[in-house]
Structures are given as structure tokens and as C-alpha cells.
Structure 1
Amino acid sequence: MAEQTTQSNRVDAQKLDPNMKLDQPGRLGLEWLSPKEAPFRLSGFAWFGQDGLYRRLPAKPSHPLPPAVDALANSTAGGQIMFRTDSPKLAIRVELGGKASMYHMPATGQCGFDLYLGEAGDQQYCGTIRYDHTLETYESVLYEYEAADRHITLNFPLYQGVKNVWIGIEPGYEVQPPLPYKSGKKVVVYGTSITQGGCATRPGMAYTNILSRRIPLEFINLGFSGNGRGESEVAHVVSEIADPALIVLDYEANAVDVEMMERTLPEFIRICREAHPDTPILVVSKIQYARERFDPQLLQRRLDMKRVEMEAVEACRSKGDTNIHFFDGTVLLGTDSYNECTVDGVHPTDLGFLRMADTLEPVFKALLKNELE
């Protein structure tokens, strides 16, 4: 009988493809700087000046937060580091709060940083960190070019927390402050896992980050995966953010049922309006789910939710609040091929997020006209 041999089907692409080789930690020979210090600018963390943490809600909130929301506030979705440097090499060193753990979202989206070069309005994608996703710390070279002054934007991870981060530059080169925003006001977006960025392949593709490259204002991403449910306690904390240029409520997908939406939305609006009498408020209904084509009850639930949202906005407008608006999220992924824009029928891919940003951009710009002139 001929001797039988066995062969493993395991494929190690990092060994077979040199383009996937990881950097070796500790061998970069760079000067490491903390973005917590000037001249770096941190955006997306409304309470950083108070707490000094890469966290999206206050460490000691004025109202008790649901435990899941409090935990998810450590996810750094929407956080950004901006600066200018003439260094020919740029690198990043990161200490995460945990490892990548999701089955349907790449580690680069959960735990990675990505890099854009250029001034606001002309920021171009340059690269994404490379790291061993089984570890909680990593170093990664972002670029090696000729020395030249460059405007840098680094987007924080969407789903993991960041304990510490350092920026590496060549010794002898400088870091300068970034160009200022159009104004000191902020776009505050409250919502769900979709708002948070699930399941973008890299941070810059969350729809709030895409919009931040097109609208020169600071964006605050307050998407809480599975837990953006419109609680009044959360509304009170959100309303404490100073100088909002626009407040967006995009949490329908986490509302347990129509009754929850009927109970929470008017109160959330009331709390925000009381704190910010003149700020535009935009209520966005959720995207279409793929299974709605086959599940009439799921479709009807979305239509009922949308009705509640429209009625809540109209009730405010009938009382004289002309600065509150509704947007029908049915069209956010397109009307024909929306089922091709998600990972799992719910969470958008990069294509889905790009379509969302393309659709919302003119809506946001119209409401932010006074801030952008």
C-alpha cells in the first residue's frame, strides 16, 4: 500500500506575503510624544479637559448611567488626534483596554488607528496600523516619506478602549498645532452600534468620521452598541456638552419596542432643548434591514417607529420649535441595493457607511449653515 501523507490546510499569510509583515516593537528609534500635551489637539472626547481620559462620557456623571453605557463610554469611537509635523517618519504606540473580540468586525476597526493627511476638507486616507490582534499593545509605522510639513489626522479605535497612546517622530523634527476648526462648536451624534461604527473595517469609515472630513467642526460620537436607548439620565449627560452646533438623535435601532420610543424620544428632546434652546436637533430614523424583504413584521415595526419619530418632531414644531427636524433613514443605504451594504443585514460595511455619509452630508450642512459661513 502506498504511504499516505497529510498536509495542513493552515495558511499563514503574514509569512507568505511580505506586505503583511508586522513591525518589531521597540526597534523604531523614534522620539515618543503624548497627544495629551500641546501642540496636539484631541477631538471627540467632550470631557477630556475635566477627566484627562480617552473616554466619551464623564468619569463621574451628574446622573447615573446604565452600566452598559458607562462601560461602552470607554470605547474611543470618534476620537481624533490632529497636528502638523515635518518628520519623515511617523509611528504610533498604543496600549489598549482589551483585545479584538468581535466575529464580524475586523480588528483594525475595533482596535486600530488609521491615518489621513491633509487639511480639513482635503483629508486623504494614507494608511492603517498593522498589529498582532492577539495583543493589547502595539507599535506601528504609519509612513516613511521625505521630510515635509504635513497635516495629520489619526482616528481612534471604534470599539476598544485606549489606555495610552504615543506618537513617534524622528528626533530633531517638530510637531506644530493643527489648523483650527471653523468654529468651537460641536456636532453631537447620539445613537447605536451603527453610530459607534459597527462594523467598519477601519475607524475613518464610521459615518461620523467620514462627515468630520467634509464638515470642519468637531464631531462627538455617542453611539453605544446595543444600548443607545434614549434614557433620560443619558439625555441629561449628553445635554451638558458645551456649544453644540447640532444634536443628532439616531437611536431607533436600539429602542426595544414602539412604546419605548414613544416614552423616551419626547423626553430626550425636551431635555436637550431645555439645555440648548437654539441648537438644531435632527431625529434620524433607522436604516432598512436586509430581512425586511422577507419579514413583514420587521418592516412594520420600522414603519411604526418612524411614525412615532415623525409625530414627536411634528409635536415640537406645532408648539413653535422650528429648529427640530426629521430625516427618513430609509434612504440612507440606497433604496435598491441596501441589502448589499451590511455585514450581517444590520451593521453597515464601509460601502454602507459611505452611502450614509453621502446622504447625510447635505442635510448636516444645511442645518450647520450658520457655523460654516
Structure 2
Amino acid sequence: MCFGNTVSGQSAGKIKYTDARELMLLGKGFDVTESYYSRLPLSGKDGFRKELWSLARNSAGLAVRFSSNSTSIAVRWTVMTNMSMNHMPATGIKGVDLYSLDNGKWYFMGTARPTDKENNAVVIKNMTAKQREYIAYLPLYDGTESLSFGVDSLSTIGMPQEKVLLKSDDGGAILFYGTSITQGGCASRPGMAYTAILGRMLQRETINLGFSGNGRMDKSMAEAICKVSAQTVVLDCLPNTNAQIVRDSAYNFIRMILDAKPGVKIYMVENPVFPTLRFDQKTAAELSEENIEWRSVYQKLKKERFRNVYFISGAKLAGCDGEGTVDGVHMTDLGFLRYAEEFAKFLR
């Protein structure tokens, strides 16, 4: 069975578009950024490594909340680079996911599949005309230049009407700092990144500060995290560091956040058990040493009576059967679901 995904499946003349800027944007930790869908503060640009600044243009973790009574929803969006990778679907890299709320639970509706830099797709149609709540997840590994949502010409679209999974300005959001895994590699679609899954599970805004290959506990990143109102911070960066980086940077990185944000809860996440470690003894030994150093930092902080610092073991993050990754490192949707379920035990 084939379901159309292009506007040609429905007359474009019957669709009216609303710029997503007129709706509610979730997942953005900073008000002033290089572009509307960027992830790091413009004020700190000179202090970030160029790799971080470039990756901040990826719209990972950003989502739009809205309400509409339309019988169909379309998406029109433009990405920055038309990025492609050999281990991640285009729908995850540069597609747009749509979910709808029903009796307090979010249900997947469809994905706007990309075809080029400029894209236009009908995600869902033939619905009954009634008011619904929506959340749409933006591209994970490409930047979003523009984004609009299309509805029936006689219907309405606007801000959310139900007080579920909204923008949090009171510290209620959860901030995740980490690596390509945190950023969403390699989810099949944006709504399957573990930060997105957790947001729906917990009905809380999540802020994704995952930077592929660059979650190295830079001082500039600690300074940026200190400026975000979120009072829950998850540090999931070990796959991008090593034992020496942990020894050199971890304590100061975490203390900077603790000192700047009284009452903040910090969760220190251990390396997951990558399936290749069963065979790659050299890497297994290196990650074991890194985990030991990470736990040592945690124990030091606990001795200093920081009761709001928590440790999350990596033993069960991706499951125990070795089937959660696409390449031995980056997660599939299955791996991300397991991540989210494990994190939820601590974050509920």
C-alpha cells in the first residue's frame, strides 16, 4: 500500500501555510542565535570551536507545538545543506516528523520526506475536522532555514490549546549535552531521537545540545549550559572523550554548572556497552578506564556533599543483546527507545 507524501497528492491551492515562527518553538535554549533554528547563543560565537558552531546550525531537538482543526497537515521546509550520510536515513537527517495528542498520549502521524533543499509534503490527510494538538520535530543533521505548516484553507492553526508538553520558562526543561548519539544519530526520523522520545514520555520540553564528534566538555559549553534555565542537566558525552579528557576537564566542567545554577540536578551518564566491545579488546579497555575516571569524579562530588548529582550506568542503555545500533556505535530507533526507557527511570 502506498501513501502519497507530496503536495501533488492534494491540490496546493486548497492549502494555506503559516510560518512556524508564529507557533510555539520547543527545545531552543537561547533566545538570540545565529538563525532562528540554531542551537547556540550568538553572544558566545567567538568562544566556541568552529566545529561546535557549525553543528549548532543543525536543528536537532527543536520542535514546533501547535493546534489545528484541519483535515490535513502539510509541511513546507528548506534545509541548509541537503546533507546525506551512508548510515542514516534522509528522513532522520532532514525530514520533519508529526505527532498528535490523543487522550494524553502522543501518536505518530507521519513523516514529511525530503527530496531536495526545498521540500513540500502532505503528512496526513482525510481526517475528521476537529481540533487536535500537534508536535512536529525538525531535522536532526541538517539546518532548517525555513518552515511552514499547511492546513485546509477554511481551517485554523495556532498556538497549543492544551497545556501538555509546552515551552518551559521556569526551569522545567531537561537539557541534554553530548555526542552524535545525543544529537540523534542514527534515528530513522527526528521523533525517534531519544531526547524526543523522552519529551513525549515525560511531557517535558527537552533541549538537545548534542554535537556529533564534539561533546568534549569545552569550557565554552559549560558556560552556555549555565545560561539555560533548565534545572535538569544530563551529561551524555563520554563517547566523545577519553580518560585523559575526563581527568582534565570533567570536574571543573560540572562544578561550573553546579556553582552557577543552585539546585540544578546533574545526571552523569556512563558509556553505553557498544556491541563491538565484546571483540575489540583495546577499545573496551579504553572505555573501561574512562568509565572509572568518570565515576571517580562523581564520587568526589558526592564527598563534597553535592546531593543533586546522579550517576546513570551504561550497562543497559542500549539493551543487552547488541541489536540497538546501526554500525556498532550509533543507535537505531530500537536503541533510542531503550535509551529513553532507561533514562526515564531516573528522570520521572
Please confirm whether the aligned pair reaches a TM-score higher than 0.5, indicating the same fold: yes
Q: How far does residue 120 in structure 1 lie from its aligned partner after superposition?
A: 8.9
Aligned to 2:136: 154
Q: What is the alpha-carbon distance in structure 2 between the residues aligned to residue 90 and residue 233 of structure 1?
A: 40
- Counterpart residue identity of residue 307, structure 1: I
Quickly say closer, same or farther: Cα 1:127–1:44, change in 2 above 3 A. Answer: same
2:135 aligned with 1:140, yes or no?
no
Q: What is the alpha-carbon distance in structure 1 between the residues aligned to residue 304 and residue 253 of structure 2?
A: 16
Aligned to 1:169: 151
Aligned to 2:250: 265
Structure 1 residue aligned with 2:39, among 56, 79, 83? Answer: 56
SS class of match (2:310): strand
Q: How far does residue 86 in structure 1 lie from its aligned partner after superposition?
A: 0.2
Quickly say closer, same or farther: Cα 1:62–1:121, change in 2 above 3 A. Answer: farther
Q: How far does residue 301 in structure 1 lie from its aligned partner after superposition?
A: 1.4
Aligned to 1:12: none
Q: What is the alpha-carbon distance in structure 2 between the residues aligned to residue 317 and residue 27 of structure 1?
A: 62
Q: How far does residue 52 in structure 1 lie from its aligned partner after superposition?
A: 5.9
Structure 2 residue aligned with 1:113, among 86, 93, 96? Answer: 96
Alignment of 1:16-95 (within 5 A): 18-19=2-3, 22-24=6-8, 27-29=11-13, 30-37=15-22, 40-48=23-31, 53-61=36-44, 64-95=47-78
RMSD over aligned Cα, in angstroms?
A: 1.9
Q: How far does residue 78 in structure 1 lie from its aligned partner after superposition?
A: 0.6
Q: What is the alpha-carbon distance in structure 2 between the residues aligned to residue 20 and residue 289 of structure 1?
A: 38
SS class of match (1:233): helix
2:260 aligned with 1:275, yes or no?
yes
SS class of match (1:92): strand
Q: When the two structures are superposed, what TM-score results if normalisation uses the length of structure 1?
A: 0.87
- Counterpart residue identity of residue 171, structure 1: S
Q: What is the alpha-carbon distance in structure 1 between the residues aligned to residue 34 and residue 333 of structure 2?
A: 32
Alignment of 1:172-211 (within 5 A): 172-178=154-160, 179-180=162-163, 181=165, 184=170, 185-211=172-198
Aligned to 1:358: 341
Quickly say closer, same or farther: Cα 1:324–1:361, change in 2 above 3 A. Answer: same
Structure 2 contact 267–312 (Cα < 8 Å) conserved: yes
Aligned to 1:241: 228
- The count of aligned residue pairs is 341
Q: When the two structures are superposed, what TM-score results if normalisation uses the length of structure 2?
A: 0.93
2:278 aligned with 1:296, yes or no?
no
SS class of match (1:103): coil
Aligned to 1:252: 238
Quickly say closer, same or farther: Cα 1:50–1:297, change in 2 above 3 A. Answer: closer
* Unmatched runs of 5 consecutive residues or more in structure 2: none
Q: What is the alpha-carbon distance in structure 2 between the residues aligned to residue 121 and residue 280 of structure 1?
A: 27
Overall identity of the aligned pairs, in %: 32
Aligned to 1:10: none
Q: What is the alpha-carbon distance in structure 2 between the residues aligned to residue 246 and residue 120 of structure 1?
A: 27
